[in-house]
Structure 1
Amino acid sequence: MADSSAESAEPPLGLSALKLALALLDQASTYAPSWAYPPPPSSSNQVDAVPALKSVWSSLKWLGQEATQAALGGLEGTTAAFEFQNVRVRIRKKVAEGGYGEVYKVAEVEGRRRKLALKLCRAVKGQHNEESAITEMKMLQRFVHASNVVTLVAAGVRPADATDAVANTVSGLDGEHGADDVKLPNRREYLMLLEWCGRGTLADAAVRGWEKRHADPTPKHRELLILTCFGGLCQGLALLHAWKPAPIAHRDLKNENVLLGNENVWKLCDFGSASTEVIKPPAEGPLAPYIARVEEEAQRYTSAAVRAPEQCDAYRREVIDERVDIWALGVCLWELMYGAKPFGDGSNPLAILNRSLKEPADSPKYSDGIKALVSDLLSDKPEDRPKMDTVCTRVEKLVRKAGDLECCDDVVEEEEKEGGGDVVAAGCVTPGSGFADFANFDGM
């Protein structure tokens, strides 16, 4: 057995890696991400590139001897506080992990002492995972003040390939090769500090809500709970589709990507697949490039369970645009109503193409209005699906009807004349009153 004192005399690998990283970073003056958030104070990206990246890198010196392990295995277990883009936080625990990164729960140790989430995305320069990371940062920055979109607090990038030679090899990033034969000399890590939404997803609500709806004898109350939660998703998506000069398609809209914030507000997240591009079939000439692109992008950006018919069968020659989100929105509403996705996991595209919609035998009763809405959202033809402004209007009307708000109008109007405050008439339900009940999740 080797002598422990001799081993301890070895220079820490992590500290050596940090020195190497800072040395390499001094030569990186040409790399200047214009999308960095918050933006640097100067208007010259080239001048501020090195200080900005140095700030991000030096803020992560808390990694110390664990630098190499952190690059490969994440940050979990780190207890020291560190500063990221002027926000001082401490890692609490890892809450999610995927093929390209992790999400950590962190706590702000100064100032507002907020609970936050740190999302770390590993990427390789020029590959689609880097494109997705940059896209997500851009989208979050655009909608930073939107109440139904997860709030971006800070964002940055660090050259992960500078930490250690071992970190240049990562298993499975391209989905084909192992750790011994994938060389990644330009690997980077994109970091996003986000508001903490640890009370569950809309998919969790679908499962728990299904159980509650069976125990709730009041059909209107069941429907009100569903519509109130669904309305938050609609408001977030409406912002994307109203974007100018071109609508933004989320392209991976599902209940798993809708989080419940601390103030009982549903927030849309995961914008790595978002795009303003429209795929049109050729008026003449070969169809093969169009077919290949539709199939490739559907496979890469959209979960099988929420793919629209035009994404499942490119030979239909449909325009692929933000209307794929409307179909996915119908899948989300169906899942909230019936506790399961209408076409399962999407492994059978024929079920989607045949629009095989079957209500569960033990399904609760719903109004004709909400049934018509989910049917219209799941229209086979993109042109038959309603636009988001129409969807939001219909949801609002259904909420009012489910809550019997019409009977409150006279009472509220009379109270306002007398200078009173907000009033809820006896027996009436405001749109938000059932929200907390339906979204009563265990915190993390």
Structure 2
Amino acid sequence: MNTAGLAILIRMGNCLCAKKTIKVNGRQYYIREQLGEGGFSTVNLVEDSSSHKLYALKHITCHAQSDQKVALAEVEYHKALSHPNIVECIDSDLVGMPDLMGNRTSQVLIVLPYCQRGTLHDELMRRQRAGSHLDEVVVLSMFRQICEAVLCMHSAKPHPLAHRDIKTSNILLKDDLTPLLMDLGSVAKARLEISSSSEARKLQDEAAERSSMPYRPPELFNVESHCHIDERTDVWSLGCLLYALCFFKSPFDAVYERGDSVALAVVSGSFKFPEPHPFSQDLQELIESILKVNPDERPYVDWIINKVDQLINKSSGAV
């Protein structure tokens, strides 16, 4: 064997020996590559060492008990919310204990399905580059499934839950375009009675940390000291997502990208439909009916699903 061939074999051997592994509940996975990163969490593509199936492994680093509590709540929400359009938690594990004084952290590991197609954001960016809109019936079908996932959360017992960060990058897509709502780290009780300025500031700070600006509802930008918050925070985000399904981005993404005030644009409810476009007046009116600045004027998700069904039937020619 020549020197070059030997060098290649040595490099291959080094790669195999150095392959990083991680264990979740005693099950070993090879780490293939990083898929995403944000805040205190990373998502890696991993391979089960026994079955060789691919998964996405979410790795949350917890610096304090409060961080760990939030991360473990995400696991519990996965267990409580079983739905075909909510991503499944395949396994989970807690490693270590956080200790600020001792500069120690814990790790919450969550094994999730791997979707090769990526997120809805990825799909829409590919389509934007190609100038290829989704067909209106496909838009309505995908949106309906996402609404069904959200309805599952809003119907949760003993109290309704809100996702609070619905956006295109939190929707995974299966190969057949079936959407899966993911990232339950922002989930919280949907209905809150805010009765003081300190409670209002706390909710506003949480929203600033967990809810992406171009999809955040007006009432979470400037939380009043005496107000009622309910699941229609998610309905605003769904309106932004429906707009993105049609036009590739949230109606407030351009404001964000320009560096202008997203809060001002959202609170004023100011957005436009790009022209020309292939979508019906009915679909535009549905978006407008959802994106109401006053949450009391917004519909609930079951009304939206019924409306979408009517539009699908109309588009397919059904009576």
Would you say same fold, with TM above 0.5? yes
Q: Which residue of 2 aligns with 1:154?
A: 91
Q: Is 2:119–2:169's contact at 8 Å kept on the other side of the alignment?
A: yes
1:390 aligns with 2:299: no
Q: Which has the larger radius of gyration?
A: 1
Q: Which residue of 1 aligns with 2:263?
A: 349
Partner AA of 1:261 in structure 2? K
Q: Which residue of 2 aligns with 1:141?
A: 79
Q: CA deviation at 1:160?
A: 6.4
Q: Which residue of 2 aligns with 1:204?
A: 122
1:119 aligns with 2:58: yes
Q: CA deviation at 1:380?
A: 1.4
Distance change >3 Å, CA 80–CA 305, structure 1 → 2: closer
5 Å-filtered alignment, 1:216-365, equals 222-262=135-175, 264-276=177-189, 278-282=191-195, 287-315=196-224, 317-344=226-253, 345=256, 347-360=261-274, 362-365=275-278
Distance change >3 Å, CA 308–CA 242, structure 1 → 2: same
The whole-number CA distance in structure 1 between the counterparts of 2:92 and 2:85 is: 19
TM (norm. structure 1) is 0.62
Distance change >3 Å, CA 353–CA 83, structure 1 → 2: closer
Cα RMSD between the aligned structures? 2.6
Q: Is 1:233–1:267's contact at 8 Å kept on the other side of the alignment?
A: yes
Q: CA deviation at 1:316?
A: 8.2
Q: Deviations over 1:296-347 (max 9, x none)?
A: 2221221111111111222384422211000000011111212222122384
Q: CA deviation at 1:185?
A: 3.7
* Greater CA drift, 289-298 or 390-399: 289-298
2:39 to 99, 104, 108: 99
What secondary structure sits across from 1:200 in the alignment?
A: coil
1:90 aligns with 2:30: yes
Q: CA deviation at 1:263?
A: 5.1
Where structure 2 has 5 or more consecutive residues not aligned to the other structure, the ranges are 1-16
Identity %: 26
The whole-number CA distance in structure 1 between the counterparts of 2:149 and 2:39 is: 27
Over 6 Å off, 4+ runs: none
Q: Is 2:171–2:179's contact at 8 Å kept on the other side of the alignment?
A: yes
Q: Deviations over 1:387-416 (max 9, x none)?
A: 111111222222232233x28xxxxxxxxx
Q: Deviations over 1:405-444 (max 9, x none)?
A: x28xxxxxxxxxxxxxxxxxxxxxxxxxxxxxxxxxxxxx
Partner AA of 2:242 in structure 1? L
Q: Is 1:209–1:336's contact at 8 Å kept on the other side of the alignment?
A: no
Q: CA deviation at 1:295?
A: 1.9
Q: Is 2:199–2:225's contact at 8 Å kept on the other side of the alignment?
A: no
The whole-number CA distance in structure 2 between the counterparts of 1:292 and 1:232 is: 34
How many residues are aligned here? Answer: 298
The whole-number CA distance in structure 1 between the counterparts of 2:102 and 2:181 is: 32
Where structure 1 has 5 or more consecutive residues not aligned to the other structure, the ranges are 1-76, 162-167, 169-181, 408-444
1:401 aligns with 2:314: yes
Between Structure 1 and Structure 2, which shows a larger proportion of strand residues? 2
TM (norm. structure 2) is 0.84
What secondary structure sits across from 1:280 in the alignment?
A: strand
1:188 to 103, 106, 122: 106
* Greater CA drift, 254-263 or 343-352: 343-352
Q: CA deviation at 1:250?
A: 0.4
The whole-number CA distance in structure 2 between the counterparts of 1:104 and 1:266 is: 20
Q: CA deviation at 1:235?
A: 1.7
The whole-number CA distance in structure 1 between the counterparts of 2:295 and 2:226 is: 11
Partner AA of 2:112 in structure 1? L
5 Å-filtered alignment, 1:368-387, equals 368-387=281-300
Distance change >3 Å, CA 226–CA 209, structure 1 → 2: farther
Distance change >3 Å, CA 96–CA 211, structure 1 → 2: closer
Partner AA of 1:101 in structure 2? S
